[in-house]
Structure 1
Amino acid sequence: MRMTPIRVLAARAAMIIVMATAVASGSVTAPAPAPAHAVMPAEPGSLPASRLDSLGSLVDTAVTGYLADDRIPGAAVTVVAGGRTVLSKGYGVADVGRRTPVDPDRTGFFLGSLAKLFTAQAASQLVADGRVDPGADVNDSLRAVTVPDTYPGRPVTLHHLLTHTAGFDSDLVGRTKVRPEDVEPLAESLTVRRPPRVRPPGVVAAYDNYGYALAGQLVAEVSGRSFPAYIDEHVFKPQGMTRSTLAQPQPDAVAARLARGYRPDGSTGWVENRGQYGAWTPSGPGAVSTAADMGRWMTGRLAGASAADRLMRQVRYRQDPRSPGLGYGFEEWRRGGRTGWFKDGDISGFHSNLLLVPDRGVGVFVVFNGDGTDGRAGWNGKELIHRIVDALVPAGPVSAPAPAVDAAVDSYTGTYRPARVSRTGLMAVEGLVSAVTVERDGGSGLRTVGLSADPDRPEQRWSALGGGLFRERDAGGGTLAFTGDGLLVASATPSTAYERLAWHQSPALHAGLLLFGLGVLALGVIAFPATALLRRSRGRTGHPPGARAARALAATTGLAAVAFATALAAVVADGNRMMEMVPLGSALLTTVTVLGTVLVVLTPGLVAGALAAWLRGWWSLPGRLVFGCTAAAALATAVMLVHYHLVSAPLTRLTA
């Protein structure tokens, strides 16, 4: 499964919630890396020997640096070239407690969304064999699961599922399990946990885990085999991938050598992450492989000339004709004049990246069994792949278009939100902290904040090429394209477009309303009881029962606001822990939504109290103004809580 990089979410969410909380309130020792285990390089294939000679040193230096600097327990790297594995190494430890060294041949890593490649391969095989029409309604092939006819005449097809364009909403809350024995059947989960369709299919690319899980169910129903069994027989065994599996629980031989995933804890230790299992295995949970097996898979795909391989490695959907597109399972990759096919995978405690450069016969797989400081492991894998490819396949001359003057540059500025952000579930709150801002930079340039996955480059600057196309000025030659229907398309993320927001949808505006609301309500915890005590101490006549009840309600609502802000701050305080908590579900997340519901339920009483205060002349003018401001704060808070679904499910359904 893939989520927004946790360092980005945590940093932005912590900034918002810690500010709100400030207003509202007031291990294991890290082992030294184990010696790397290496597989002796095979025949060098078509690459010059000089490049292969330096490859081991480059990878050793880079990976040991990542493990030490970012506090990651272990890693494995496999590089294939010329039809052979030319490097396969393990680094650090697979199990912190036992100090088990990572072995690229035997250590199993959870792959997360890399499992989508196996799903795409299986589905493509059925298409190539003529058993599935990729353009037909998936309901023609499904029996145990049915896709609602939300958009009559526009059915969801297998093509849509494999290109992230089916139009399902995104919701990963509570989708994973601690134990494989607790995983429910795939068909059951797809029915009970089905998110609504929120846009017509084939319109916008929005990264879709449910869509891939549904594609896996289609494979199972058409083939007559369970999905893990089909993958084992038709994907793993033909490549000799004997230590790879999608079965939950795993076979004993695989389970005995599983790596454990970790996040940093304190200043020197780690804590083990949980939640790598789940029913939606075709999209990521539960998928396990070794670095050596992934090398075999890459070699097979690079050598493959089958119809299934061609389906996977051809652009099947492109959000903008000038930008990289999507194959089945893969994202198109461009860098320094080279092209390839990329996929990454992130699941609690594990981060993997895979790249194929078919025209050079090169494939690279990198995996870490730790989140790293501030969630850096995911980016480290991408950076290492770039370094390896740069060393093995140097960039050729690139004829970059000359900068142009774009008179419409101001029309592209504004705020954009990833299309994958949920519209109907708790993960809608991601929209509060994952927006991208686009500002004018000079004559025809742009500056973006929040788009880069590189933690060291939060800002990016772009030069206009004309017609709404921009090229990054100083790193990698990435592009931005602005479409006529208000979408931003970034070359780094072809599986998710960004939708332009109107001013009233601005996350900055919403965050301000939420901060204002929580802050004012929290002040009432002290202000209203203190005012009542002061009146009594001065012997003043008491207010009517209704006025006293209104003040008590305001104080109670303030207490709920303080509790809500504190609970939400606890959720976002550790981004790595949040990545485990959200898909696994937790009592703390439930507490947040329950407290949000309490705030929403109490709000009508405050509004009624404010109206009564003016109609019946309760308190002095300043007193009525203060209470009116408190009611307005409660109303602003309630609107934001409902909008971002920070309330319990029954209330969400009532307001949908």
Structure 2
Amino acid sequence: MRTKPIRALATLAAMITISSTALLTGAADTHAADVHAEGTHAADIHTAAPPGLESLVDTAVTGYLKDDRIPGAAVTVVSGGKPVLTKGYGVADVRTRAPVDADRTGFFLGSLAKLFTAQSASQLVTEGRIDARADVNDHLREATVPDTRPGRPVTLDHLLTHTAGFDSDLVGRNKASAEDVEPLAEGLTTRRPPRVRAPGQVAAYDNYGYALAGQLVADVSGQDFPAYVDTRILRPLGMTHSTFAQPRPPRIAGQQARGYRPDGASGWTEAKGQYGSWSPAGPGAVSTAGDMGRWLTDQLTADSAANRLMRQVHYRQDPRLPGLGYGYEEWRRDGRTGWFKDGDIPGFHSTLLLLPAHDLGVFVVFNGDGTDGRAAVDGRNLIDRVVDHLVPARPATPEAPRPSADPALATYTGSYRAARVSRSSLMAVEGLVGAVTVEKDGDTGLRTTGLSVDPQHGEQRWTALGDGLFRERGAGGATLAFTGDGLLVSSATPATAYERLTWRQSPALHTALLGFGLAVAALGAIAYPATAAARHLRRRDPHPRAARAARAAAAVTGLLAVTFAASLAAVVSDANAMMEAVPLGSPLLTAVTVTGTALVVTTLGVATGAMAAWQRGWWNRTARVLFTLTALGCLALASMLLLYHLVTAPLTWITG
């Protein structure tokens, strides 16, 4: 699971909030200073660490925990064919103050589970039991792919490279308790997203695709997915504190870290929603830093056909940029190359990097979201610091491209939307608030906003290298490419391309319509009841009952608009809490969509009243114009709610 689509909802609150309320959460009665006073807990240094490595990691991680209010973390570094640093920091439980033990404390992996899914599938491919380029329906038995695109079947290769073409929908997918999780096949069937594009065309990060790959492994092997991973990967590597089973074995559950989000000035609230039937994509998977060190060691030292298959580029959106292996994303930085994966689930954030050419692997995990969701960024930053310390950057080669004017510079400007953005669920809101804006920056460059994986790094500047290729100014050497079919591709996110938007799809236009509709509807909530009250006091209301009903509909619609905005503001008032509310579901989230649905229905009454007012001559001309303006505002608002699926299922089906 990735957090950016969920966190995008938080930005929406700033645009449409009329009133806001705080989420009622029970904060953990523990203070950050008290927890970190426990100090760090060293677990196991298997062999001598390279000079300065432990000091660097200690300083960085303790700084992250303190500055970003994260309870605990664990890190492992593998070099020279063995772990050189495996260490825990902070606490696994803020109530009991149990310290993190890197060899025993289990952390939820989130999307790092996809690496184990890819490895399982790769084993079956290399054994000749699955053809990665054949229709997955040839092997699936309990959950198949509908033939909605005849002649374009989905293959395992598509599933493992995020190119299967399924829509994205995480709303309500997770559970608070492992006991409530339905079987994988059932979860794949009852919540199957539509196929929104032909397979093999565009990379769009896909949780459903990986869950389906896990079912493929189960159907071909004859074992349920957690059992396959246990018998073919975990036990052979000695990963005795890791599991994909839900519920977890008691010996693992008893040493599980709890995940948290900051609450108030110094406390935490425990996060829920780490379980779910789509476990091959992330929910429910648990491991320790020590076990992940064993897995990294195997990836670096075992020259198996499955490991090699995982670390081949199987799809590249642009031939000049990093591509996708099976499970892995290709990684490039300052002349160094490797394989990367990160994982996010409520309260837990993990990051992993493998540099086979340098025999180096790094894994870091936090059991807290951190202030403003900083934990996910902290993991990337720590890995960059470790790599910089152990693997010197390569100097630029004389043949490196030089900045050059690009005559097509203006053609790249505009708005772009991540291909992973949902077209059929509430997650469509990311398309409104998470779009990427591209503008010219002189004659040889571009300026982008909304593209960085770090939400605090809003604007990036890029220098043209020619033929639609750009390099970021500053350290790191990130690259950006524009393809001939209207896609924007970033080296930082090879698993998701960005699609160019037309003016009709413009987030700026939709934001303006949303704001106009909310403002007009809210004014109607005040004006029409006030007018009715004044007429009642004067004992005069010569207008027919239908006219009064139309004005009442306008007043109700305005009240619903205010309620809708307040409900949404309550959901997104804490971005970390929202990360739990969206996949887990919440009464407030339900209130948002139910209110949105009611608003759409009452808008029909307002629009009908506006037409009748002109046909039947209700009120004077000024009153009719004002009421028509109200109707237009309500229609603008309702159209945006339908477009971004901020309504309940029946209307979502109609608009989807």
Same fold (TM over 0.5): yes
Alignment partner, residue 407 of structure 2: 407
Q: Matched residues in 2 for 1:541 and 1:234: separation?
A: 79
Alignment partner, residue 309 of structure 2: 311
Q: CA deviation at 1:429?
A: 1.3
Q: CA deviation at 1:536?
A: 4.1
Alignment partner, residue 518 of structure 1: 518
Decide whether aligned partners of structure 1 residues 551 and 580 sit closer, same or farther in structure 2, where only a CA change above 3 A counts: same
1:17-36 map, 5 Å? 17-18=16-17, 20-21=18-19, 27=27, 28-30=29-31, 31-33=34-36, 34-36=38-40
Q: Matched residues in 2 for 1:207 and 1:258: separation?
A: 28
Q: CA deviation at 1:29?
A: 2.2
Q: Out of 36, 41, 48, which is 2:45 matched to?
A: 41
Asked whether the equivalents of residues 5 and 453 of structure 1 are also in contact (C-alpha less than 8 Å), the reply is no
Q: CA deviation at 1:626?
A: 1.1
Q: TM-score, normalised by structure 1?
A: 0.96
Amino acid aligned to 2:490: A
Counterpart check, 1:628 vs 2:628: yes
Alignment partner, residue 481 of structure 1: 481
Amino acid aligned to 2:333: R
Q: Which of 484-493 and 394-403 deviates more? A: 394-403
1:330-479 map, 5 Å? 330-399=328-397, 400-479=400-479
Q: CA deviation at 1:611?
A: 1.1
Counterpart check, 1:655 vs 2:652: no
Alignment partner, residue 14 of structure 2: 15
Alignment partner, residue 492 of structure 2: 492
Alignment partner, residue 168 of structure 2: 170
Alignment partner, residue 102 of structure 1: 100
Alignment partner, residue 235 of structure 1: 233
Q: Matched residues in 1 for 2:589 and 2:644: separation?
A: 14
Decide whether aligned partners of structure 1 residues 253 and 566 sit closer, same or farther in structure 2, where only a CA change above 3 A counts: same
Amino acid aligned to 1:594: V
Q: CA deviation at 1:39?
A: 4.2
Q: Matched residues in 2 for 1:531 and 1:632: separation?
A: 20
Amino acid aligned to 2:30: T
Q: Matched residues in 2 for 1:235 and 1:457: separation?
A: 38
Q: Which of 404-413 and 517-526 deviates more? A: 517-526
Q: Matched residues in 2 for 1:475 and 1:574: separation?
A: 32
Alignment partner, residue 283 of structure 2: 285
Q: CA deviation at 1:616?
A: 1.7
Q: CA deviation at 1:306?
A: 1.0
Alignment partner, residue 297 of structure 2: 299
TM-superposition CA deviations, 1:219-243 (whole Å, max 9, x none): 0010001100000011111211010
TM-superposition CA deviations, 1:30-82 (whole Å, max 9, x none): 233233222453445xxxx7xx1201111111111111111100001100100
Amino acid aligned to 1:148: P
Asked whether the equivalents of residues 554 and 606 of structure 1 are also in contact (C-alpha less than 8 Å), the reply is yes
TM-superposition CA deviations, 1:438-462 (whole Å, max 9, x none): 0000112100001112233210000
1:466-615 map, 5 Å? 466-538=466-538, 540-615=540-615
Q: Matched residues in 1 for 2:604 and 2:541: separation?
A: 28
Q: Matched residues in 2 for 1:373 and 1:70: separation?
A: 5
Alignment partner, residue 63 of structure 1: 61
Q: CA deviation at 1:182?
A: 0.6
Q: CA deviation at 1:11?
A: 4.9
Q: Matched residues in 1 for 2:546 and 2:444: separation?
A: 61
Q: Which of 550-559 and 531-540 deviates more? A: 531-540
Amino acid aligned to 2:168: S
Q: Matched residues in 1 for 2:286 and 2:541: separation?
A: 73
Asked whether the equivalents of residues 5 and 430 of structure 2 are also in contact (C-alpha less than 8 Å), the reply is no
Q: CA deviation at 1:398?
A: 2.0
Q: CA deviation at 1:655?
A: 3.0
Q: CA deviation at 1:592?
A: 0.9
Q: CA deviation at 1:475?
A: 2.9
Asked whether the equivalents of residues 39 and 87 of structure 1 are also in contact (C-alpha less than 8 Å), the reply is no
Amino acid aligned to 2:35: A
Asked whether the equivalents of residues 553 and 606 of structure 1 are also in contact (C-alpha less than 8 Å), the reply is yes
Q: Matched residues in 2 for 1:559 and 1:42: separation?
A: 64
Q: Matched residues in 2 for 1:495 and 1:102: separation?
A: 32
Decide whether aligned partners of structure 1 residues 238 and 94 sit closer, same or farther in structure 2, where only a CA change above 3 A counts: same
Q: Matched residues in 1 for 2:132 and 2:593: separation?
A: 40
Asked whether the equivalents of residues 106 and 286 of structure 2 are also in contact (C-alpha less than 8 Å), the reply is yes
Asked whether the equivalents of residues 10 and 573 of structure 1 are also in contact (C-alpha less than 8 Å), the reply is no
Q: CA deviation at 1:430?
A: 1.6
Q: Matched residues in 2 for 1:582 and 1:456: separation?
A: 22
Q: Matched residues in 2 for 1:229 and 1:40: separation?
A: 29
Q: Matched residues in 2 for 1:42 and 1:644: separation?
A: 52
TM-superposition CA deviations, 1:605-637 (whole Å, max 9, x none): 111111111122211222111100110011111
Q: Out of 199, 204, 207, which is 1:206 matched to?
A: 204
SS at match of 2:456: coil
Q: Matched residues in 2 for 1:32 and 1:390: separation?
A: 30
Q: Which of 263-272 and 510-519 deviates more? A: 510-519
Q: Matched residues in 2 for 1:453 and 1:168: separation?
A: 23
Name the % identity.
Answer: 69
Counterpart check, 1:161 vs 2:162: no
Q: Matched residues in 1 for 2:74 and 2:16: separation?
A: 36
Q: Matched residues in 2 for 1:541 and 1:105: separation?
A: 78
Q: TM-score, normalised by structure 2?
A: 0.96
SS at match of 2:303: coil
Alignment partner, residue 619 of structure 1: 619
Decide whether aligned partners of structure 1 residues 10 and 427 sit closer, same or farther in structure 2, where only a CA change above 3 A counts: closer
Asked whether the equivalents of residues 553 and 603 of structure 2 are also in contact (C-alpha less than 8 Å), the reply is no
TM-superposition CA deviations, 1:543-577 (whole Å, max 9, x none): 12111111111111111111111111111111101
Q: Matched residues in 2 for 1:538 and 1:252: separation?
A: 74
Q: Which of 449-458 and 103-112 deviates more? A: 449-458
Q: Matched residues in 2 for 1:278 and 1:544: separation?
A: 56
Q: Matched residues in 2 for 1:43 and 1:83: separation?
A: 11
Q: Matched residues in 1 for 2:313 and 2:541: separation?
A: 78
Asked whether the equivalents of residues 205 and 494 of structure 1 are also in contact (C-alpha less than 8 Å), the reply is yes
Q: CA deviation at 1:120?
A: 0.2
Q: CA deviation at 1:542?
A: 2.4
Alignment partner, residue 23 of structure 2: none
Asked whether the equivalents of residues 490 and 497 of structure 1 are also in contact (C-alpha less than 8 Å), the reply is yes
Asked whether the equivalents of residues 244 and 254 of structure 1 are also in contact (C-alpha less than 8 Å), the reply is yes
Decide whether aligned partners of structure 1 residues 98 and 585 sit closer, same or farther in structure 2, where only a CA change above 3 A counts: same
Asked whether the equivalents of residues 178 and 275 of structure 2 are also in contact (C-alpha less than 8 Å), the reply is yes
Decide whether aligned partners of structure 1 residues 605 and 541 sit closer, same or farther in structure 2, where only a CA change above 3 A counts: closer
Q: Which of 506-515 and 155-164 deviates more? A: 506-515
Q: Matched residues in 2 for 1:357 and 1:5: separation?
A: 29
Alignment partner, residue 254 of structure 1: 252
Q: CA deviation at 1:356?
A: 0.3
Gaps of 5+ in 1: none
Q: Matched residues in 2 for 1:350 and 1:32: separation?
A: 18
RMSD: 1.3
